[in-house]
A and B are shown apart, each in its own frame.
Chain A
Amino acid sequence: MSVLTIERKVLEKNDDIARRNRELFAQHKLFVINLVSSPGSGKTSLLEQTLKYFGKSLRVAIIEGDVQTDFDAQRIAKFNVPVVQIVTNGGCHLEAKLVSDALSSFDLKNVDLLVIENVGNLVCPANYDLGEALKVVLVSTTEGDDKPLKYPGMFHNASILVVNKIDLVPYVNSNPDIIKKNSLQINPKLKVFETSCTTNKGIPEWCEWLRSQTSKRADLK
Protein backbone atom coordinates (compact mmCIF):
# COMPACT_ATOMS: atom_id res chain seq x y z
CA MET A 1 0.00 0.00 0.00
CA SER A 2 1.16 3.52 -0.69
CA VAL A 3 -0.34 6.60 0.88
CA LEU A 4 -0.83 10.01 -0.73
CA THR A 5 -0.98 12.84 1.78
CA ILE A 6 -3.74 15.28 0.82
CA GLU A 7 -4.74 17.48 3.81
CA ARG A 8 -7.35 19.48 1.91
CA LYS A 9 -10.64 20.90 3.11
CA VAL A 10 -13.51 18.98 1.53
CA LEU A 11 -15.40 22.18 0.77
CA GLU A 12 -12.34 23.99 -0.55
CA LYS A 13 -13.97 24.52 -3.95
CA ASN A 14 -17.00 26.20 -2.37
CA ASP A 15 -14.72 28.28 -0.14
CA ASP A 16 -12.73 29.48 -3.18
CA ILE A 17 -15.88 30.68 -4.93
CA ALA A 18 -17.09 32.28 -1.66
CA ARG A 19 -13.77 34.14 -1.44
CA ARG A 20 -14.28 35.48 -4.96
CA ASN A 21 -17.84 36.56 -4.08
CA ARG A 22 -16.49 38.32 -0.99
CA GLU A 23 -13.89 40.16 -3.08
CA LEU A 24 -16.60 41.30 -5.47
CA PHE A 25 -18.76 42.53 -2.57
CA ALA A 26 -15.78 44.43 -1.12
CA GLN A 27 -15.11 46.01 -4.49
CA HIS A 28 -18.69 47.35 -4.55
CA LYS A 29 -18.63 48.29 -0.82
CA LEU A 30 -21.63 46.08 -0.38
CA PHE A 31 -22.88 44.75 2.96
CA VAL A 32 -24.05 41.15 2.52
CA ILE A 33 -25.88 38.98 5.03
CA ASN A 34 -26.76 35.30 4.84
CA LEU A 35 -30.13 34.83 6.57
CA VAL A 36 -30.66 31.33 7.95
CA SER A 37 -33.34 29.60 10.03
CA SER A 38 -35.72 26.64 10.19
CA PRO A 39 -38.58 26.69 7.66
CA GLY A 40 -41.34 29.01 8.83
CA SER A 41 -39.38 31.14 11.31
CA GLY A 42 -40.26 34.27 9.38
CA LYS A 43 -37.22 35.05 7.21
CA THR A 44 -39.31 36.38 4.32
CA SER A 45 -41.66 38.25 6.68
CA LEU A 46 -38.65 39.91 8.32
CA LEU A 47 -37.41 40.94 4.88
CA GLU A 48 -40.83 42.34 3.99
CA GLN A 49 -40.86 44.46 7.16
CA THR A 50 -37.25 45.49 6.52
CA LEU A 51 -38.04 46.62 2.97
CA LYS A 52 -41.15 48.45 4.17
CA TYR A 53 -39.07 50.27 6.80
CA PHE A 54 -36.33 51.34 4.40
CA GLY A 55 -38.57 52.35 1.50
CA LYS A 56 -36.29 54.18 -0.88
CA SER A 57 -33.81 55.21 1.83
CA LEU A 58 -31.56 52.20 1.29
CA ARG A 59 -30.85 50.25 -1.90
CA VAL A 60 -31.54 46.62 -1.00
CA ALA A 61 -31.28 43.56 -3.26
CA ILE A 62 -32.44 40.09 -2.32
CA ILE A 63 -31.49 36.54 -3.30
CA GLU A 64 -34.16 34.02 -2.33
CA GLY A 65 -33.22 30.37 -1.88
CA ASP A 66 -35.94 27.73 -1.82
CA VAL A 67 -36.23 24.05 -2.58
CA GLN A 68 -39.19 24.71 -4.84
CA THR A 69 -41.41 27.59 -6.09
CA ASP A 70 -40.73 31.32 -6.54
CA PHE A 71 -43.36 32.33 -3.95
CA ASP A 72 -40.82 34.25 -1.86
CA ALA A 73 -39.45 36.19 -4.84
CA GLN A 74 -43.03 37.15 -5.72
CA ARG A 75 -43.57 38.48 -2.20
CA ILE A 76 -40.34 40.50 -2.36
CA ALA A 77 -40.97 41.77 -5.91
CA LYS A 78 -43.99 43.72 -4.61
CA PHE A 79 -41.52 46.09 -2.95
CA ASN A 80 -39.91 46.94 -6.30
CA VAL A 81 -36.44 45.82 -5.31
CA PRO A 82 -34.10 43.65 -7.38
CA VAL A 83 -34.71 39.99 -6.46
CA VAL A 84 -33.47 36.68 -7.82
CA GLN A 85 -35.02 33.36 -6.87
CA ILE A 86 -32.72 30.36 -6.70
CA VAL A 87 -34.66 27.08 -6.78
CA THR A 88 -32.42 24.29 -5.53
CA ASN A 89 -34.70 21.45 -6.74
CA GLY A 90 -34.26 19.39 -3.61
CA GLY A 91 -30.93 20.83 -2.48
CA CYS A 92 -31.04 21.62 1.23
CA HIS A 93 -28.75 24.69 1.19
CA LEU A 94 -27.31 27.39 -1.06
CA GLU A 95 -23.73 27.06 -2.30
CA ALA A 96 -21.32 29.86 -3.25
CA LYS A 97 -21.54 28.95 -6.95
CA LEU A 98 -25.34 29.41 -7.00
CA VAL A 99 -24.93 32.84 -5.42
CA SER A 100 -22.13 33.74 -7.81
CA ASP A 101 -24.36 32.84 -10.79
CA ALA A 102 -27.23 34.90 -9.36
CA LEU A 103 -25.03 37.98 -8.93
CA SER A 104 -24.89 38.62 -12.66
CA SER A 105 -28.59 39.63 -12.47
CA PHE A 106 -27.82 42.61 -10.22
CA ASP A 107 -26.31 46.00 -10.86
CA LEU A 108 -24.09 45.73 -7.76
CA LYS A 109 -22.78 49.28 -7.87
CA ASN A 110 -26.32 50.48 -7.18
CA VAL A 111 -26.90 48.23 -4.18
CA ASP A 112 -26.05 49.02 -0.53
CA LEU A 113 -27.32 45.86 1.15
CA LEU A 114 -27.66 42.37 -0.28
CA VAL A 115 -29.63 39.82 1.71
CA ILE A 116 -29.28 36.16 0.81
CA GLU A 117 -32.25 34.30 2.26
CA ASN A 118 -31.04 30.73 2.53
CA VAL A 119 -33.13 27.56 2.28
CA GLY A 120 -35.08 27.00 5.51
CA ASN A 121 -32.85 24.50 7.28
CA LEU A 122 -30.96 24.81 10.55
CA VAL A 123 -28.29 22.22 9.66
CA CYS A 124 -26.86 22.16 6.15
CA PRO A 125 -26.44 25.88 5.33
CA ALA A 126 -24.01 26.16 8.28
CA ASN A 127 -21.27 24.47 6.25
CA TYR A 128 -21.41 26.63 3.16
CA ASP A 129 -19.74 30.01 3.08
CA LEU A 130 -21.43 32.17 0.43
CA GLY A 131 -19.08 35.15 0.71
CA GLU A 132 -21.34 37.05 3.15
CA ALA A 133 -20.07 39.49 5.77
CA LEU A 134 -21.98 37.56 8.41
CA LYS A 135 -24.68 35.00 9.06
CA VAL A 136 -27.89 36.07 10.76
CA VAL A 137 -29.77 33.22 12.43
CA LEU A 138 -33.47 33.66 13.06
CA VAL A 139 -35.34 31.70 15.72
CA SER A 140 -39.04 32.17 16.32
CA THR A 141 -40.71 31.82 19.70
CA THR A 142 -42.99 29.06 18.39
CA GLU A 143 -40.05 26.74 17.71
CA GLY A 144 -39.13 26.02 21.32
CA ASP A 145 -36.47 27.56 23.52
CA ASP A 146 -34.10 24.64 23.10
CA LYS A 147 -33.46 25.15 19.36
CA PRO A 148 -29.97 26.67 19.83
CA LEU A 149 -28.88 23.70 21.95
CA LYS A 150 -30.31 21.22 19.43
CA TYR A 151 -28.66 22.86 16.40
CA PRO A 152 -25.42 24.32 17.79
CA GLY A 153 -23.53 24.25 14.45
CA MET A 154 -25.58 27.07 13.00
CA PHE A 155 -25.21 29.19 16.15
CA HIS A 156 -21.42 28.68 16.20
CA ASN A 157 -21.25 30.20 12.73
CA ALA A 158 -23.70 33.08 13.14
CA SER A 159 -22.88 36.60 14.34
CA ILE A 160 -26.42 37.85 14.82
CA LEU A 161 -29.46 36.23 16.46
CA VAL A 162 -32.95 37.52 15.70
CA VAL A 163 -35.67 36.18 18.01
CA ASN A 164 -38.82 36.56 15.92
CA LYS A 165 -42.59 36.28 16.59
CA ILE A 166 -42.05 37.96 19.94
CA ASP A 167 -45.77 38.97 19.91
CA LEU A 168 -46.74 35.29 20.29
CA VAL A 169 -44.97 34.83 23.63
CA PRO A 170 -48.23 35.04 25.68
CA TYR A 171 -49.75 32.19 23.63
CA VAL A 172 -46.86 29.75 23.36
CA ASN A 173 -44.73 28.05 25.92
CA SER A 174 -41.68 30.17 25.21
CA ASN A 175 -39.36 32.51 27.02
CA PRO A 176 -37.17 34.71 24.79
CA ASP A 177 -34.69 35.12 27.65
CA ILE A 178 -34.11 31.36 27.63
CA ILE A 179 -33.68 31.36 23.84
CA LYS A 180 -31.05 34.09 24.29
CA LYS A 181 -29.35 32.34 27.20
CA ASN A 182 -29.18 29.04 25.29
CA SER A 183 -27.84 30.79 22.19
CA LEU A 184 -25.15 32.66 24.13
CA GLN A 185 -24.00 29.40 25.71
CA ILE A 186 -23.29 28.14 22.21
CA ASN A 187 -21.88 31.42 20.95
CA PRO A 188 -21.31 34.23 23.48
CA LYS A 189 -20.41 36.71 20.71
CA LEU A 190 -23.93 36.76 19.22
CA LYS A 191 -25.60 40.17 18.97
CA VAL A 192 -29.33 39.77 19.68
CA PHE A 193 -32.46 41.45 18.28
CA GLU A 194 -36.08 40.70 19.19
CA THR A 195 -38.68 41.28 16.50
CA SER A 196 -42.31 40.87 15.62
CA CYS A 197 -43.32 41.18 11.98
CA THR A 198 -46.96 41.57 13.06
CA THR A 199 -46.65 44.42 15.59
CA ASN A 200 -43.39 45.79 14.09
CA LYS A 201 -41.70 45.61 17.51
CA GLY A 202 -37.92 45.62 17.19
CA ILE A 203 -37.99 46.21 13.42
CA PRO A 204 -36.61 49.79 13.67
CA GLU A 205 -33.71 48.64 15.87
CA TRP A 206 -32.88 45.78 13.47
CA CYS A 207 -33.11 48.04 10.42
CA GLU A 208 -31.07 50.84 11.92
CA TRP A 209 -28.35 48.36 12.79
CA LEU A 210 -28.39 47.16 9.15
CA ARG A 211 -28.20 50.77 8.00
CA SER A 212 -25.25 51.48 10.28
CA GLN A 213 -23.42 48.47 8.80
CA THR A 214 -24.12 49.55 5.22
CA SER A 215 -23.14 53.18 5.85
CA LYS A 216 -19.79 52.04 7.26
CA ARG A 217 -19.11 50.67 3.82
CA ALA A 218 -20.90 53.42 1.88
CA ASP A 219 -18.57 56.01 3.45
CA LEU A 220 -15.87 54.43 1.37
CA LYS A 221 -17.90 54.57 -1.85
Chain B
Amino acid sequence: MHELSIAENIVEIIHQHVEEERLRDVRAVSVKVGTFSGVVADSLEFSYQAITAATPLEQSFLAMELIPFVVLCEECNEKLINDDGITQCVSCGSYKTKIISGRELQVKDIELEDVKKEFV
Protein backbone atom coordinates (compact mmCIF):
# COMPACT_ATOMS: atom_id res chain seq x y z
CA MET B 1 0.00 0.00 0.00
CA HIS B 2 2.80 2.48 0.78
CA GLU B 3 4.30 1.81 -2.66
CA LEU B 4 2.25 4.77 -3.94
CA SER B 5 4.02 7.11 -1.55
CA ILE B 6 7.39 5.51 -2.51
CA ALA B 7 6.58 6.06 -6.22
CA GLU B 8 5.78 9.73 -5.50
CA ASN B 9 9.19 10.09 -3.83
CA ILE B 10 10.88 8.59 -6.91
CA VAL B 11 9.05 11.03 -9.22
CA GLU B 12 10.17 13.90 -6.98
CA ILE B 13 13.80 12.75 -7.19
CA ILE B 14 13.53 12.58 -11.02
CA HIS B 15 12.17 16.15 -11.07
CA GLN B 16 15.13 17.29 -8.98
CA HIS B 17 17.68 15.83 -11.39
CA VAL B 18 16.15 16.25 -14.84
CA GLU B 19 15.29 19.62 -16.40
CA GLU B 20 11.62 20.03 -17.15
CA GLU B 21 12.02 20.06 -20.95
CA ARG B 22 13.89 16.77 -20.79
CA LEU B 23 11.38 14.85 -18.66
CA ARG B 24 9.87 13.41 -21.86
CA ASP B 25 13.22 11.79 -22.65
CA VAL B 26 13.42 9.80 -19.41
CA ARG B 27 13.31 6.05 -20.05
CA ALA B 28 14.63 3.57 -17.48
CA VAL B 29 14.85 4.70 -13.89
CA SER B 30 17.03 2.20 -12.03
CA VAL B 31 15.98 1.51 -8.48
CA LYS B 32 17.73 -0.79 -6.03
CA VAL B 33 15.12 -2.64 -4.00
CA GLY B 34 16.26 -4.83 -1.12
CA THR B 35 14.22 -8.02 -0.73
CA PHE B 36 13.53 -6.89 2.87
CA SER B 37 12.99 -3.21 2.13
CA GLY B 38 9.27 -3.77 2.70
CA VAL B 39 8.47 -2.83 -0.88
CA VAL B 40 6.71 -5.08 -3.38
CA ALA B 41 8.42 -4.51 -6.73
CA ASP B 42 5.27 -5.20 -8.81
CA SER B 43 3.16 -2.80 -6.74
CA LEU B 44 5.84 -0.15 -6.99
CA GLU B 45 5.95 -0.47 -10.79
CA PHE B 46 2.14 -0.35 -10.94
CA SER B 47 2.04 2.76 -8.72
CA TYR B 48 4.76 4.45 -10.75
CA GLN B 49 2.90 3.82 -14.03
CA ALA B 50 -0.34 5.06 -12.49
CA ILE B 51 1.06 8.38 -11.31
CA THR B 52 3.18 9.11 -14.40
CA ALA B 53 0.39 8.33 -16.93
CA ALA B 54 -0.49 11.42 -18.99
CA THR B 55 2.55 13.29 -17.63
CA PRO B 56 5.88 14.03 -19.36
CA LEU B 57 7.23 10.91 -17.64
CA GLU B 58 4.72 8.55 -19.28
CA GLN B 59 7.39 6.93 -21.47
CA SER B 60 9.55 6.13 -18.47
CA PHE B 61 9.60 2.95 -16.42
CA LEU B 62 11.28 1.53 -13.33
CA ALA B 63 14.14 -0.91 -13.82
CA MET B 64 14.32 -2.68 -10.50
CA GLU B 65 17.43 -4.38 -9.23
CA LEU B 66 16.51 -6.76 -6.42
CA ILE B 67 19.19 -6.87 -3.72
CA PRO B 68 19.29 -10.10 -1.67
CA PHE B 69 19.17 -10.13 2.12
CA VAL B 70 22.73 -10.93 3.16
CA VAL B 71 23.91 -11.48 6.71
CA LEU B 72 27.56 -11.49 7.76
CA CYS B 73 28.37 -13.70 10.75
CA GLU B 74 30.91 -12.11 13.07
CA GLU B 75 31.72 -15.50 14.64
CA CYS B 76 32.43 -17.67 11.60
CA ASN B 77 32.84 -14.84 9.06
CA GLU B 78 30.38 -16.49 6.64
CA LYS B 79 28.31 -14.30 4.36
CA LEU B 80 24.90 -15.86 3.89
CA ILE B 81 21.84 -15.08 1.85
CA ASN B 82 18.80 -15.58 4.10
CA ASP B 83 15.66 -15.39 1.97
CA ASP B 84 13.49 -15.64 5.08
CA GLY B 85 14.97 -12.54 6.74
CA ILE B 86 16.39 -14.44 9.71
CA THR B 87 19.55 -12.81 11.06
CA GLN B 88 20.75 -15.87 12.98
CA CYS B 89 23.75 -17.42 11.19
CA VAL B 90 22.47 -20.52 9.38
CA SER B 91 25.98 -21.93 9.30
CA CYS B 92 27.11 -21.82 12.98
CA GLY B 93 23.89 -20.69 14.72
CA SER B 94 25.45 -17.51 16.14
CA TYR B 95 23.35 -14.41 16.76
CA LYS B 96 26.37 -12.13 16.38
CA THR B 97 25.54 -11.11 12.86
CA LYS B 98 25.24 -7.97 10.79
CA ILE B 99 22.77 -7.29 7.99
CA ILE B 100 24.92 -6.12 5.09
CA SER B 101 22.31 -5.83 2.34
CA GLY B 102 18.65 -6.35 1.56
CA ARG B 103 17.21 -3.19 3.15
CA GLU B 104 18.04 -0.84 0.22
CA LEU B 105 15.56 1.48 -1.42
CA GLN B 106 17.56 3.75 -3.63
CA VAL B 107 17.37 5.50 -7.00
CA LYS B 108 20.56 4.41 -8.73
CA ASP B 109 20.46 6.21 -12.07
CA ILE B 110 18.19 7.71 -14.73
CA GLU B 111 18.51 6.90 -18.42
CA LEU B 112 17.62 9.63 -20.91
CA GLU B 113 16.95 9.28 -24.63
CA ASP B 114 19.32 11.58 -26.53
CA VAL B 115 17.72 14.68 -28.05
CA LYS B 116 16.93 14.02 -31.72
CA LYS B 117 19.24 15.99 -34.03
CA GLU B 118 16.63 16.86 -36.74
CA PHE B 119 14.81 19.18 -34.38
CA VAL B 120 17.97 21.08 -33.47
Q: Is B46 an interface residue (CB 8 A)?
A: no
- Chain A positions within 8 Å of B18 at CB level: 4
C-alpha spacing A142/B106, complex, angstroms: 36
Q: Is the CB of A152 within 8 A of B84?
A: yes
- Chain B positions within 8 Å of A95 at CB level: 5
Q: Is B37 an interface residue (CB 8 A)?
A: yes
- Chain B positions within 8 Å of A126 at CB level: 38
A11 with B9, Cβ < 8 A, contacts A153-B38, A184-B95 known: yes
8 Å CB contacts to B: which residues of A7-27? Answer: 7-14
Q: Is A115 an interface residue (CB 8 A)?
A: no
C-alpha spacing A217/B17, complex, angstroms: 41
Set B2, B9, B10, B114: member contacting A124, Cβ < 8 A: B2
8 Å CB contacts to A: which residues of B72-120? Answer: 84-88, 95-97, 99, 103, 105-114
Task: Closest A residue to B6 by CB, please name it.
Answer: A10
Interface SS majority for chain A? mixed
Q: How far is the CB of B114 from chain A (nearest CB, A)?
A: 6
8 Å CB contacts to A: which residues of B9-52? Answer: 9-10, 12-13, 17-18, 27, 31, 36-39
Q: Is the CB of A4 within 8 A of B103?
A: no
Q: Is the CB of B111 within 8 A of A1?
A: yes
Binds B, one of A99-107, A160-168, A185-193: A185-193
Q: Is B54 an interface residue (CB 8 A)?
A: no
Q: Is A220 an interface residue (CB 8 A)?
A: no
Q: Is A5 an interface residue (CB 8 A)?
A: yes
- Chain B positions within 8 Å of A128 at CB level: 2
Q: Is the CB of A124 within 8 A of B38?
A: yes
User: Which of B13, B85, B106 has the largest number of chain A CB atoms within 10 A?
Assistant: B85
Q: Is the CB of A156 within 8 A of B99?
A: yes
Q: Is the CB of B95 within 8 A of A153?
A: no
C-alpha spacing A11/B10, complex, angstroms: 8
Q: How far is the CB of B112 from chain A (nearest CB, A)?
A: 5
Q: How far is the CB of A180 from chain B (nearest CB, A)?
A: 13
Q: Is the CB of A3 within 8 A of B9?
A: no
C-alpha spacing A93/B114, complex, angstroms: 39
Q: Is A55 an interface residue (CB 8 A)?
A: no
Q: Is A40 an interface residue (CB 8 A)?
A: no
Q: Is the CB of B37 within 8 A of A7?
A: no
Q: Is A127 an interface residue (CB 8 A)?
A: yes
A10 with B88, Cβ < 8 A, contacts A2-B112, A2-B114, A188-B95 known: no
C-alpha spacing A141/B79, complex, angstroms: 34
Task: Closest A residue to B31 by CB, please name it.
Answer: A10
Set B6, B88, B106: member contacting A185, Cβ < 8 A: B88
Q: Is the CB of B112 within 8 A of A185?
A: no
Q: Is A91 an interface residue (CB 8 A)?
A: yes
Task: Closest B residue to A2 by CB, please name it.
Answer: B112
Q: How far is the CB of A52 from chain B (nearest CB, A)?
A: 33
C-alpha spacing A1/B112, complex, angstroms: 6
Task: Give B residues with C-beta under 8 Å from A.
Answer: 1-2, 5-6, 9-10, 12-13, 17-18, 27, 31, 36-39, 84-88, 95-97, 99, 103, 105-114
Task: Give A residues with C-beta under 8 Å from B.
Answer: 1-14, 91-93, 95, 123-124, 126-128, 149, 152-153, 156, 184-188
